[in-house]
Amino acid sequence: MSIKNTFTIWFGKLLVKVMKLLGKGAGNAPGLILWTLNKNCLKAFKVECPIIAVTGTNGKTSVTNYLSHIFASNKGKIITNTQGNNLDTGICSLLLANCDMKGRVKADYLVLETDESHVPVIYSQLKLETLVLLNFFRDQLDRNGEVETLILKVKKFLETFEGNVVLNADDPNVARLGKANPNNKNIFYFSVERYSGATDEPYEVGEGKFCPFCGTELVYDYYQYSHVGRFHCPKCHFGEDKPFTLIKNVDLSAPSFEADGETFKTAHNSIYYMYNLAAVYTASKLYDFDKATLHDTFEHFEVNNGRLETFNITGSELMVNLAKNPVGANMTLRVMNEQAGEKELLFVLNDNLADGHDVSWIWDINFSIFRDVTRVVTSGTRAYDIAIRIKCSGYDPDKIVVRPDLDDAMDELFKNTGRKFAIANYTAVQPTRAAIKRCKERREKNG
Ligand SMILES: [Zn+2]
């Protein structure tokens, strides 16, 4: 090990110790400091096990949690950032906390949720074995710039990458990356066959409708959600690759899906989740995980971090979903619509640094699809903005209640019983979960 690398690791380990002594926990600070001092610090770590990275706009955290659960099933040691610390500095902190004084990271697998824009810089320093790419949508424009810029960044990385690439064949923004390196034979597409809620016409405002290779308009057989669906280019035949995994017979009422001739029951009933599971299934297959583990995981495993998480409060069921972009929000509205009967919606919108101060993305959410929504409560630092947005969609303003304080919002929401849904953006999701738990305690105490 070079002197510089030795120093990097020693200094990093010292930072971890100092933070602990200060009672601050290690957290993200050691990685942040180390990264600021040395942008090549990840090279100082010695990782000998396979690294699996998960990236894409929506679903990264869930897929990373699922894969870690499966990869840990045969008593393997997994190092993972399941809490979504997915930037270069977060991954640096994670490795610092898990390495010895020589920088050796001992594990059977590293499963790393990785921010799309950080894929090239992190994996030019750490040897990646498998990259799982879920989807590309407009997200947090302040930080990432246009989605095309992001795709091109990942594409540039893939041009020289020879490891496994697991790709969503039904998202043209992702599928195109399968051709980034014509010499890479380890390209594994997954696709999901048409489900009952698919449409012939696009359901929402979407991106990626033109062929990235020849500019011809893509022809869709159907849209599953947003711009995700079965497509092909009539001119250059982009989109006609045979998938490695084909998910069939998606049944949201069971809920279940079929893969390689077997039916898998699932814990969640949205098409959005079926795509996440298709990615999990494909990556697990590359590592030969047994079917029994997959059955058990898909049916029972819960991520419980505000991703389609369900709470029960005094006779009411509330489903919470994180949405940091129009596609995520539209997806939740769609899950809501697919449930028969009356329901109420809570929308919590913050505009903190990590959310991006620009909340204009809420204007791309399709609220006109509301079905049997009897009341909307809005909360968060931008509670009024989201209320105005919903009002402008034509929804009856008398049914909108604005409660910027989250505890007030919960009391309002649970004034009556029934089915409820909550959408919260990035920095709102954990406070929302905490407020739900506080509300539950208050109500149980008051009997
Ligand atoms: Zn084409």
Please tell me the distance from the alpha carbon of residue 307 to that of residue 365, in angstroms, as a whole number.
18
How would you list the strands of the sheet with 187-192, edge to edge?
A: 78-80, 109-113, 51-55, 130-133, 164-168, 187-192, 245-251, 256-259, 262-265
Q: What is the pLDDT of residue 25?
A: 62
For ligand 1, the distance from its centroid to the CA atom of residue 217, given in whole angstroms, is 8
Please state, in angstroms and rounded to a whole number, the distance separating the CA atoms of residues 352 and 428.
9
**Digits of tens for pLDDT over the chain (447 positions)?**
688 888 889 988 888 888 888 776 657 788 888 888 888 999 999 999 999 999 999 899 999 999 999 999 977 899 998 766 888 889 999 999 999 999 999 999 999 999 999 999 999 999 999 999 999 987 655 455 578 889 999 999 999 999 999 999 999 999 999 999 999 999 999 999 999 989 998 866 555 589 999 999 999 999 999 899 999 999 999 999 999 999 999 999 899 999 999 999 999 888 999 999 999 999 999 999 989 999 999 999 988 778 888 899 988 999 999 998 888 898 889 888 888 899 999 999 999 887 878 888 899 898 988 889 999 999 999 999 999 999 999 999 999 999 999 999 999 999 999 999 999 998 999 999 999 999 999 988 876
Q: What is the pLDDT of residue 145?
A: 56
Q: What is the DSSP string of 110-127?
A: EEEE--GGGHHHHTTTS-
Q: Do domains 129-300 and 309-445 have the same CATH topology?
A: no
Cβ count near 124 (within 10 Å):
15
Give the span between the Cα atoms of 198 and 329, in whole angstroms.
17
- Ligand 1 ion: residues within 5 Å (CB): 211, 213-214, 216, 233, 235-236, 238
Q: For residue 154, what pLDDT is reported?
A: 97
Tokens coding 372? 């049997």
User: CA–CA separation, 75 vs 71, rounded Å?
Assistant: 8
Distance 169 CA to ligand 1 centre (A): 15
Q: What is the Å distance from ligand 1's center to 237 Cα? A: 6
Q: Which of 143, 38, 17 is nearest to 92 (CA)?
A: 38
| Domain 309-445, CATH among 3.90.190.20, 3.30.70.360, 2.60.40.10, 3.40.50.300 | 3.90.190.20
Ligand 1 centroid – CA 273 distance (Å): 29
CA of 239 from ligand 1 middle (Å) equals 9
pLDDT of residue 318: 94
Res 151: pLDDT: 94
Q: From ligand 1's centre to the CA of 283, what distance in Å?
A: 28
- Confidence (pLDDT) at 92: 92
Would you call 217 helix, strand, or coil by DSSP? strand
pTM: 0.86
Task: Tell me if 369 sits within 8 A of 338, measured CB to CB.
Answer: no
What is the rounded distance in angstroms from the CA atom of residue 303 to the CA atom of residue 212? 35
Residue 147 CA to ligand 1 centre (angstroms):
19
Domain 129-300 top-level CATH class: alpha beta
From the CA of 174, how far away is ligand 1's center (Å)? 15
What pLDDT does 443 receive? 87
Looking at residue 413, its pLDDT comes to 96
Domain ranges of the chain: 129-300, 309-445
How many angstroms separate the alpha carbon of residue 166 from the centre of ligand 1?
22
Report the separation in Å between the CA atom of 154 and the middle of ligand 1, taken as the mean of its atom positions: 20
